[in-house]
Amino acid sequence: FPEMLSNPRLIPVHRTLNVVMNQNVTLSCHSDSGSPPVRYTLFKCNQKVSTLNRPDLTPGLFNLTINSASDMGEYKCKAENNISSGGKYSNSLNFTLLEPISKPVLSSPTSQAKKGQNVTLSCLSENGSLPITYVFFKGKQSISHPVKMYKSKAAVIFLFINSSSDFGTYKCKAENSFRNNTKYSNSFNFTLAEERSHSQPLIISLGLVLFLFVIGFALAIPLFIIPSYKASE
């Protein structure tokens, strides 16, 4: 007897929904039971993409090319046979577009520091699919746990400048789920801020007092010498 179709299953043939730009993908739409022939129709955001006819219960295979971000919409398929009314719809699928990350930029609000000071370093890749994982380095030694960012914001670490060795070269690296796409940042170095000597203000003050004393003495000479000279006459 004629049998109605079961709800079809829509799956990616390569078992992943992670795609890159200009990638070819294949979606399989399949009803496990029901009377053939079967007509499969693929939809993207409720708009018909393509239709395939099958004389038996073999899957309908739809070949797509991911050309732009607009191809990231919701996909569904519909299965129909001669006795179905309106057809049966599948689950929905959404692709995730993987974008390679750009070279991260390592920066700090200040480039000068002195011993005993707290400083910050920020690492940010402007482009790339999320999440992005950052790691900070001093020289070749990592100085942070991996920091995973789920938003397009910089990863930040806090450092304490304790000795001259803390003025070394810093870098960070960034990576996401795009394969073989680890990127390293520019190098960043803190420079030692010049510290003014505590005795310098005292020296300046003493010099100013001495200068004023000399000026005052020079101005006082006519007041004492000239009257004395006139008195002696």
CATH number at 170 reads 2.60.40.10
Specify if 201 maps to a domain.
Answer: no
Specify if 216 maps to a domain.
Answer: no
pTM comes to 0.62
Specify if 37 maps to a domain.
Answer: yes
Structural domain that includes position 76? 9-97
Q: What span, in angstroms and rounded, lies between the C-alpha atoms of 233 and 222?
A: 16
Specify if 199 maps to a domain.
Answer: no
In total, how many domains does the chain have? 2
Q: What is the pLDDT along the chain (233 residues), one digit of tens a residue?
A: 788 999 999 999 998 999 988 999 999 999 999 999 999 999 999 999 999 999 999 999 999 999 888 888 999 999 999 887 789 999 999 998 889 999 999 999 998 888 889 999 999 999 999 999 999 999 999 999 999 999 999 999 999 988 888 888 999 999 998 888 899 999 999 988 765 544 455 555 666 656 666 566 566 666 655 555 555 55
Q: What was the pLDDT predicted at 199?
A: 45
Specify if 229 maps to a domain.
Answer: no
130 and 188 belong to one structural domain: yes
Specify if 110 maps to a domain.
Answer: yes
C-alpha distances in Å from residue 169, one per residue of 55, 124, 139, 191: 68, 18, 6, 10
Q: What was the pLDDT predicted at 211?
A: 62
Q: What span, in angstroms and rounded, lies between the C-alpha atoms of 133 and 150?
A: 9
64 and 17 belong to one structural domain: yes
Q: What was the pLDDT predicted at 197?
A: 45
20 and 71 belong to one structural domain: yes
Specify if 210 maps to a domain.
Answer: no
| Domain boundary pick from 38, 64, 97 | 97
